[in-house]
Structures are given as C-alpha cells and as structure tokens.
Amino acid sequence: MAPRIIVAHGYNAAPHRHWFPWLVEQFEPGVVTVPALPNPRAPELEPWVNTLAETIGDVDDNTILIGHSLGSITTLRVLERMPRPWRLRGLILVAGFVSALPNLPKLNEFTAPPVDGAAIAAHISHRAVLGSDNDTTVAPAFTADLARELDAPLTLIPGGGHFVDRLGCHSIPELLPVINRMLDNETPDTIEERR
C-alpha cells in the first residue's frame, strides 16, 4: 500500500507557503497532503482539530503525520481524541510546542489542558522532532520540551529560524532522511546494526 503523508501547517500559514510545496514535490503525486486549516490568521482549536481529523481519517502503518508550529500541537490533539486502538507509522513535528508560548498568548487554548505525550507516543512506531537554534517564534527550549514529552529524538538545525518563507525557508533538506527512515521502517537501532 502506498504511504500517506499529511502535513498540518501552522498559524498564519497555508498549504502553498513555506516548505510545504517543496515537500509535496519530493514524492509521487497524491502521497503528501497539506490541508488548508480554517482561518489561519485567527485560529481556533475545535475547527482546526476537526478539519485535520477529517483529512487524516484513520491512521495505520502507512501513515506519517507532520506538523509545523501550531500544526504540531493540533496534530497531537487529533491523536489524543482518536478512538483506540490505533497505530501510526510516523510522527514528525517541526518547530512545535506543547506548552503556552509567552509571545503568542492568543494560541493558549491549543495547549490547555496539557497533552499526555507518553500516552500518544505509545501508539506511534517512529517519532522525530526538528527545531532550530535561532527560532524566535517558538524558542528552542519549547521544542526541546516537546521532544522530551514524546520521547522523540530532537534534531536542531543551525540557523533554521522558524522554517518560514519570510525568512527564506522554502525547503528543509534534513526532513527527507527522517521521512525515508520511517518509510523504510528503520529505527536508530536498526541503522546502528547495519554499520
């Protein structure tokens, strides 16, 4: 069965912005879907979760979910509401967060109550978090907290900012090997064994 990769964009974003078109081009047509989440300039939790949940539908071992910024916590909210049992091949969160951002209090409804990262992670075969060392929108410490919450490896990309087009980001080359390892069903252990 062909893999499905679904990307949740962030606050004030859209499917045609940032690195999303580049990611779509890296795969066969129809593999990567980037839904438009409602009212991105003034996002609300329920419409975002409902729209994303409709796009995702059921998850399985052929599904990889990717969230960017506010799309990360939105993806986690979808997963925590999903009827159990479920199993997800991969989850990749880019410049994400699970606690309230002091600089963006208007997004607080997305982070309260706290997400139970361990309960979500137990259903996901492969997890990864990517961040940047100079992100001024989601400070690196918030992305590190997210990685700890999900017991996921954290990749810090030097000078990546918030991975947005206004700062010149139109691709994240470091993302491809992470996706490809998940598609090949490799864990850090199996990579080590091959060496």
Annotated catalytic residues are 69, 135, 162
Dihedral-angle region of residue 161 (phi above 0 means left; psi in -120 to 50 means alpha; beta otherwise): left
Angle at 179 between CA 164 and CA 22, to 5 degrees: 40
Q: Which residues pair with 4 in a beta bridge?
A: 63
User: Is residue 105 exposed (0-12), middle (13-18) or buried (19+ Cβ within 10 Å)?
Assistant: exposed
C-alpha to C-alpha distance for 137 and 62, rounded to whole angstroms:
32
